[in-house]
Structure 1
Amino acid sequence: MSLETLWLALLGLLLAGYFVLGGYDYGVQLLHPLLDGEQQERNGLAPRNTALDAIAPFFLGNEVWLVAFAGVMFGAFPHLEGTLLSGLHPLIVAILAGLVLGNAAIQLRRRTPSARAQRRWGALIVCGGALPSLCWGLVIGLLLYGVPRRADGSFHIGPGDVLTPFVLACGATTALLFAAHGAAFVALRSAPQQAARAGQLGTALLNATGAVALLPLLLTLFGAGPTMTNPRTAAALTALLAAALCGARWWLVRGRHGRAFAATCCATALPVPLLGAGHHPYVLITPSGTGLTVEHAVTDSATLHLLSAFGVVLVPVILAYQAWSWWAFRGRTSHRHADYF
């Protein structure tokens, strides 16, 4: 395996890890008004929310994966970084705005005595989860379908490229999937009564995810979707995604929350290898089937060797930190836990 392939795999791993870990953050933010059954007042502040308590120990820490992904893309694939960020500029800005909005709203919600302000912060929390979830789905849909290329070789999107049935269906599917992923996480982390409510909501969301996901699949089968460079690989990964969704629903219905969450983790991660392996060797493709290949996107060999020395150290540190945080805050949440928000 070449060094370029290893760095491409690392880039995909970091993005998939961000989808898995950041995905349940966004899902919980989306669902927190529906999963606030166990509340208590303290010092006249807003009531505690058990859904938000579930993500509290990991709050902001999951964005490390997004920062690492951006760093690897900037260092190892500078031509992809420059082309991708400029071409998808509106969606990238919307994702970052959602991140800032949601993070601020979560921290400020219980720091105001006004009931009206608390409701506004709560609404902004939902927006902070919905905006990145939907926009990441639109990004995936655009990258699967293809981004138009100008005469000068640059990639650019307009409203007409985003407002297509395939791309919009991918956006809706991803938003529903992240919401179901968040529900599975709350079911895994919360007390039994709250876990049961989250499991019921997660089951309904998985049903909706499967129904909406049929649209981009049917569009592809009938020629109105993307033409994959490696159709057999794409078909196999799509089948795995469908199996993960079915498995998550099966285990949620039976109260096996750990297995259900593992299945939703697989489902949220699989769009990344679907995109990478389905269009390999292209990292950015046009609807006509041409585009930017790995060879043209990667930096020179000397820089890759230099970056590898840092990667050997930093990647295990990120993995160790994530494993330690999960171990330190394992188990279900309760009001005996620290009041983070």
Structure 2
Amino acid sequence: MSLETLWLGLLGLLLAGYFVLGGYDYGVQMLHPFLRAPGHGEKAERAGRNAALDAIAPFFLGNEVWLVAFAGVLFGAFPHLEGALLPGLYPLIVAILVGLVLGNAAVQLRGRADSARGRRRWDVLIVFGGALPALCWGLVLGLLLHGVPRRADGSFRIGFGEVFSPFVLGCGVTTALLFAAHGAAFVALRSDPELAVRARRLGARFVRAAGAAGLLPLLLTLFGAGASMTNRATSAIIAALFAAALAGAWWYLSQGHPVRGFAATCCATLLPVALVGAGHYPYVLISSAGAGLTIGQAVTDGATLKILSAFGVVLIPTIIAYQTWSWRAFRGRTGRRHPSYF
């Protein structure tokens, strides 16, 4: 295996890790108004709305490290991919960043509101800050799967028609619903039993909704108007694994197995990234009109890759070790071992 392929695998690993870890953050934010602990009165209302957020509190900002590492590898190891693709994705990238900033601020500031009206305003921003990035990440996946036109200068043109095509929109809605189900599964894993039961049921419903929404991109692909895959056999296997992960998530959440249900939603959230990488290899970017961009054209020179590898050998294990320590330190359900954070 070449050094270029190893770095492409690392790029995919970091993005898939962020989809798994940041995905449940988005999902919990989207479902925040619907996952309330029981109780009456203003104090109970304040604590109830925070119950789901407490599940993600210890990991909330730490999960963004995976996105930062992904951006670093993209800029450092694949500058030609970044230069060709990101200019056309600026509106979606800006929307993702706006959602991240507003969502992060709202989650941390909601508890400081002095009135029910103030908390409702923060609630709106919390939901918006989860839904907007989740939808936009799905749109990005849809664009990468479908392919976009390439200009004569090598850049890729992404206009209104490409973003709002039925296939890309279907991918966006499917991803948003999948992240919502993933967030519900995480709350079921982390919260007190009574809230966990409600989260499991809600997660099962969102898994079904994600599967139903995913039928549109699948049908469009079968009829030649969807994904443009280079390796069709590999793509079919990954798509089948994705369907199996959704089915497993629905079954386990419905039957009261939150650990297995969360494991299944983790698999479902990372498989679309694998579909883009393995389904298009050796291309890193597919063009809907003409030749795409291969890994050899996108990667930096060999000397730079060797220098980056020295940093990667230290950085990536550090990120994994931190995440492992964080999960171990804050294991268990909220409300028992850990106080309310927000």
Q: Shorter-normalised TM-score: what interval?
A: over 0.9
Decide whether aligned partners of structure 1 residues 43 and 34 sit closer, same or farther in structure 2, where only a CA change above 3 A counts: closer
Deviation per residue, 1:304-338 (Å, 9 max, x gap): 00011110001000000000000011111116623
Q: Which residue of 2 aligns with 1:288?
A: 289
The 5 Å alignment of 1:84-95 reads: 84-95=85-96
Deviation per residue, 1:32-85 (Å, 9 max, x gap): 100012468898994352110100110110000000000011111111112222
Q: Unaligned 5+ residue runs, structure 2? A: none
Alignment check: 8 A CA contact 2:150 2:290 kept: no
Aligned-partner Cα distance in 2 for 1:307–1:132: 29
Q: Which residue of 2 aligns with 1:320?
A: 321
Q: Which residue of 2 aligns with 1:71?
A: 72
Decide whether aligned partners of structure 1 residues 153 and 34 sit closer, same or farther in structure 2, where only a CA change above 3 A counts: same
Alignment check: 8 A CA contact 1:39 1:50 kept: no
Deviation per residue, 1:78-105 (Å, 9 max, x gap): 1111222212111000000000010000
SS at match of 1:140: helix
One-letter code aligned to 1:172? V
Q: Which residue of 1 aligns with 2:196?
A: 195
Q: Which residue of 2 aligns with 1:100?
A: 101
19-28 vs 155-164, which moves further:
155-164
Normalising by structure 2, report the TM-score: 0.96
Alignment check: 8 A CA contact 1:40 1:47 kept: no
Aligned-partner Cα distance in 2 for 1:41–1:276: 51
287-296 vs 158-167, which moves further:
287-296
Q: Which residue of 1 aligns with 2:35?
A: 35
Matched, 1:215 2:216: yes
Q: Which residue of 2 aligns with 1:157?
A: 158
Alignment check: 8 A CA contact 1:27 1:183 kept: yes
Decide whether aligned partners of structure 1 residues 159 and 243 sit closer, same or farther in structure 2, where only a CA change above 3 A counts: same
Alignment check: 8 A CA contact 2:173 2:213 kept: yes
Decide whether aligned partners of structure 1 residues 43 and 209 sit closer, same or farther in structure 2, where only a CA change above 3 A counts: closer
- Number of residue pairs aligned between Structure 1 and Structure 2: 341
Q: Which residue of 2 aligns with 1:184?
A: 185
Aligned-partner Cα distance in 2 for 1:38–1:10: 43
Q: How far did residue 2 of structure 1 move?
A: 0.6
Aligned-partner Cα distance in 2 for 1:227–1:82: 22
Alignment check: 8 A CA contact 2:84 2:154 kept: no
Q: Unaligned 5+ residue runs, structure 1? A: none
Q: Which residue of 2 aligns with 1:6?
A: 6
Q: Which residue of 1 aligns with 2:113?
A: 112
One-letter code aligned to 1:20? V
SS at match of 2:284: strand
Normalising by structure 1, report the TM-score: 0.97
Q: How far did residue 23 of structure 1 move?
A: 0.1
One-letter code aligned to 1:273? A
Decide whether aligned partners of structure 1 residues 214 and 27 sit closer, same or farther in structure 2, where only a CA change above 3 A counts: same
Q: Which residue of 1 aligns with 2:278?
A: 277
Decide whether aligned partners of structure 1 residues 158 and 313 sit closer, same or farther in structure 2, where only a CA change above 3 A counts: same
One-letter code aligned to 1:67? V
SS at match of 1:224: coil
SS at match of 1:212: helix
SS at match of 2:213: helix
Identity level (%): 72
Alignment check: 8 A CA contact 1:88 1:156 kept: no
Aligned-partner Cα distance in 1 for 2:258–2:252: 7
One-letter code aligned to 1:160? G
The 5 Å alignment of 1:38-53 reads: 38=38, 46-48=46-48, 49-53=50-54
